[in-house]
Amino acid sequence: MSIKRFITAIFISLILSGLGLIPQEPETWQVISLDLEHVPLRQLAGLGLDILMQKERRLYIVSSPQDRMRLGEAGLPFRPELAFSGRPAAVSSSAGGGLNGDYHSYSELEADLRALEAGHPGLAKVYDIGRSLEGRSLYALKISDNVGVSEPEAQVLFLGCHHAREWISVEVPFLLGEFLLINYLTDSRVRDIVDRSEVWLVPLVNPDGLEYSIHVYRYWRKNRRDNGDGSFGVDLNRNYGYEWGYDNSGSSPTPESAVYRGPAAFSERETAAVRDLFLRSNFQALVSYHSFSQVIYYPWGYSRQPVENAERMKGLAAGMAQHILEVAGTVYRQGQSSLLSYLTNGDTTDWAFGLYGIPAYTIELEPPSEGQGGFFNAESEIRPIFNDNLPAALTLIEDCISRYVPPVSENGRAGQARRLIAREARIR
């Protein structure tokens, strides 16, 4: 998305909000930047800032008035980059959908998942795996050749939209499901994958947040928990149980923070639904799609200590990055999350790897920077971004198929689930 189009969208949004057509966020938010030559990252630890990206020794942040006050009180200079309010969205005049154009809203996604199920009986089944805080269903799409039966096959899980503003992260897992179903009869590779595995997709982990980002405030990140102090939202990707609340650098105990981890591990209905799906399943790998920066992250996020016994996970990440490169020359970096980026604790991939020992990845989708579009991917970019990531997803599933060893018995799986629940209770 061009800078000109981005500014135009903001200008239109401000006019509409002035007319009362768009609900107002009660605070004035700004994108600000800090010069890392004068403000080292270690000085920002514990402030719970909503970091967009780091570019040319400047750190870009979505800041609330409280964030700017804390930075001022700490003597940390910053530069305003862009004042905004309302909804600076990337919607073209030819948009095929509603307010968010060709991107899915909650209701549109629900309808399209049901359409895939209806159009591919025996191969696709939609499961309601839980309800959000505001009562929206959390939908999982299962794809397999005998979809109504739990077979001894490799299972792989793809998640999208933990963070509300990351609209493209809904589209990639949805399009993966659509691709597998549409091409099942004509593509032998797809047919082999579907016949020999169970592919699970949860494209929208944070439906309440997504709706808020569409209708009220485009930069919204968290869910919509009322924290009781005038602030709203928990960062769902800081609410998982492994090393939850390990420190205040990788997540924040402050409710108003963009990385607020919640009052307890799995306090949120959305993360509890993902946890419970895991306990009913036997996943061999997980991918959680996010945006933006073109990176494939793997654990650890909570610590900069090297991850042990993870040669396969590292090799798969390198392979996925190579497959993405081969599509159209798009470069995705790959490596340990805490070493390539800032610390995170209580996130999805640390939990999946730390508790289950499976390869687990956060894939930060395109573009590489805020200046090249950031969260505001043009609608025309949806399909190319999916195309870039498709071979990586297929290869990951195939690797899990090739290594799959059936469990001794269903009782064995149930026993494993009980042990994991007990272990998580000890961690909490």
The CATH code of domain 106-427 reads 3.40.630.10
Q: Which two tokens stand for residue 408?
A: 């001794």
> Is 370 a catalytic site residue?
no
Give pTM, 2 decimals: 0.81
pLDDT for the residue numbered 348: 98
pLDDT at site 37: 81
The string of pLDDT tens digits covering residues 347-359 is 999 999 999 999 9
Domain-by-domain residue ranges, the chain?
Answer: 26-84, 106-427
Pair of tokens at residue 159: 């998640």
pLDDT at 9: 43
Strand partners, 286: 157, 360
Dist. CA 306–CA 303, nearest whole Å = 8
Spatial contact of 86 and 29, defined as CB atoms under 8 Å apart: no
List 171, 211, 364, 424, catalytic entry: 364
Cα distances (angstroms) measured from residue 273 to each of 47, 131, 155: 29, 8, 17
Q: What is the pLDDT of residue 426?
A: 52
Q: 């073209």: which residue's tokens?
A: 92
Q: What is the pLDDT of residues 400-412, one digit of tens each?
A: 999 999 877 555 4
Please give the order of strands across the beta sheet that includes 50-55.
50-55, 58-63, 29-35, 79-84
pLDDT of residue 19: 34
Q: Report how far residue 174's alpha carbon sits from residue 112's, in angstroms, rounded to the nearest whole number.
A: 9
DSSP string, 64-97: -HHHHHHHHHTT---EEEEEE-S------TT-SS
- Positions of the chain with pLDDT under 70: 1-27, 29, 41, 45-46, 52-56, 82-98, 368-373, 409-428
pLDDT at 299: 96
Q: Is 372 exposed, middle or buried (0-12, 13-18, 19+ CB in 10 A)?
A: middle
